[in-house]
Chain A
């Protein structure tokens, strides 16, 4: 039975790697969860099949979202009908829009530019077209 020692060493290495991956992800995620105090709140309203963005001053944008580089924003993601998912691939932001819930996520873009906003949860006929434009101004 001497050779089973290899199996134990191997399992030990696998478990070690997993603990390392788990601990590291936990630390990073913990950091990402903390929403900065000074962040501006934007309400993201999902519905079949478009996005509406409501700024704190009451202005609304449909299909486009203008923000300023160098500032932090916190999104309150809600849905009016079915489940959607608010996704900005460039900034690795994914948060489901679930009817009856208010989900929060934040980001702080550094550079100006134009980025794709899309829906990542299947929400019916025009799911594939449920896109919007994120415009980060200088």
Chain B
């Protein structure tokens, strides 16, 4: 196996292993595979929208399937598995335990991902990543929608099993000398994420079963013709998936807390406020789900309640940002790849947060709702912020995983292509939304403003695509041929690196 540079092991030893670094490695590799697959679909979408009218896809149904699988893939097969992989790799090391609490359960949770992913990719559904009924129940063709439902069900179970394992490992297996207020903030990030997952996901699990029985025609939870209510699904769905955005985000917050003090060579500004903000965020994240439904015909009171719930979560994110900036303030910052990505991510987070407040302000939401604005907004978060920090963390862990160093110049090219690309795509998408372009459309009105903006966005997406190709080359080439890393302190920042001897488990 390429990645085991020091002592090559046969592939099946890693595949059948239950050791946390091996399972972590599998999670990380598959998450990158799905990042590239989902990215290919993104390029397809942007190319189709380069010009009005059919560009490269002649059938709108195909386009609808592309954006459905793109969204489902990147949220559930890139963000979640990557965080789980890094958690697996580092949590036992950081809490000083020999492995995860339930190593075999851990491997089972991982091995649920390939079948779930296969169902989603082979099903190739066209119901959008949130599968709203009645479209998904009465109009969407089977077996595509059924396979999507089962795929998500398996991925949800995997995520619940993984979370149980993290909670038990962190709370029960941590070294007895390590009090809970001594846990690194990365561990706190994974802990709060896992607890939120356990609280949020069962609701969606129920919703999926109801969706499926509705499709079978044995129930009518969401069918108004038979006394059901399609909006009920939206409540169940967003009760899981609004918190889910924080589930995606909190591991990245933890990673930023790990990287910034090290690369600023300064202690963290306020550990306590980091912990408090993580805990509060994980609670208040549940108070805002229905802001995705402001245009469904809610009463004024409902709209007010959810506006307040949404705004209440903002100070916690602001607190993290303050903490990061205060930590690096006046430090001797080393702008190696991990730090560059984290700072880039924070910069884009600022923009995305400001956009979020606009979405939340009631009358303004009706301009932005279901328009390209929303697409720009959440991509600034999931791509610009979360994925940026994830990629930075990947560079940071590269020496630990492979024993070699990546190429810093290539990582810099990767970063700048992605950063400029992100601004070109996502900021332009905000403006497209203000011009009234709806999301999830195969074709747009042939208006000169819309055409030029779509072309800017597509160019930005191509820059990002080139950036990711550079990244792929850098990772593979450096894993095979990179110069051996100095394992005690590979980044020469005078800080203790993780315990690399954990790489040789047996």
Q: Which residues of A contact B (CB under 8 A)?
A: 3-4, 6-7, 10-11, 14-15, 18, 21-22, 24-26, 28-30, 32-33, 48, 77, 81-83, 85, 87, 89-90, 92-96, 98-101, 103-104, 116, 118-129, 131
Contacts and interface: CB of A to CB of B under 8 A. Distances in A.
B295 A21 contact: no
Task: Say whether chain A's binding surface is mostly helix, strand, loop, or mixed.
Answer: mixed
Find the residue from A77, A85, A124, A126 having the highest chain B CB count within 10 A: A124
Contacts, number: 153
Contacts of B442: 127-128
Contact of B132 (A26, A81, A83, A93): A83
Contacts of A83: 132, 134-135, 230
A65 to B, nearest CB: 17
A125 B230 contact: no
B362 A29 contact: yes
Nearest to A32: B363
Contacts of B435: 89
Interface of B: 60-61, 64, 126, 128, 132, 134-135, 138-140, 224-225, 228-231, 269-270, 273, 295-297, 300, 303-304, 307-308, 311, 314-315, 318-319, 322-323, 326, 357, 360-364, 366-367, 369-371, 435-436, 438-445
Contacts of B297: 77, 95-96, 98, 101, 103-104
Given A29-B300, A94-B366, A116-B445, A127 B361 contact: no
Given A21-B361, A96-B296, 8 more contacts: A4-B273, A7-B322, A7-B323, A25-B362, A77-B297, A83-B134, A85-B295, A96-B297
Contacts of B132: 82-83, 121-122
Contacts of B322: 7, 10-11
Nearest to B231: A98
Given A22-B308, A25-B362, A82 B134 contact: yes
Contacts of A125: 60-61, 64
Nearest to A102: B297
A99 B230 contact: yes
